[in-house]
Amino acid sequence: MAQQNKIVVEAAARDTRGKNEARRLRQTGKVPAVLYGGKGGALALAVNAKQVSAILRSETGHNTLFQVDFAGKHEPAIVKDWLVDPLSGRLLHVDLLRVRAGEKVKIDAGYVQKNVGDLAKNADLSRFIL
């Protein structure tokens, strides 16, 4: 098996909460985030917006396994949920899920169906029209 490059997302503890504090945080290039799951408790973090956006745009998208660098520790995680501003497209908030070896994680795995041929031609699409 080939060695994969480890993706590391920088994180810092977030003491304050609220709309105004989140706005100030976003102006510095960071995004409010919550790291939860596994055996640890939930942590309020501030993560680098560019790093998380790059993960979401990558080929594996939100199913990408990466390391959260927090207080000198690296915790493996995936993006569980995220919020994007509908007008600007900027990332507003991220939920991160801890991943542990040996634990099951439920993820969305999309697929694209190609070459459906006659099936698509003969399909009754009237039931899908609103």
pTM for this model (two decimals): 0.73
pLDDT per residue over 87-116, tens digit each?
Answer: 988 999 999 998 887 767 666 666 666 665
Do the Cβ atoms of 9 and 29 come closer than 8 Å? no
pLDDT at 1: 38
Could you tell me the domains of the chain?
8-128 (2.40.240.10)
Query: Per-residue pLDDT tens for 31-89?
Result: 999 998 878 788 899 999 998 988 888 887 787 888 998 888 888 898 999 999 999 88
| Whole-angstrom distance, CA of residue 83 vs CA of residue 91 | 6
pLDDT at 120: 57
The answer, yes or no, to whether residue 117 has pLDDT greater than 80, is no
* β-strand partners of 94: 33, 82
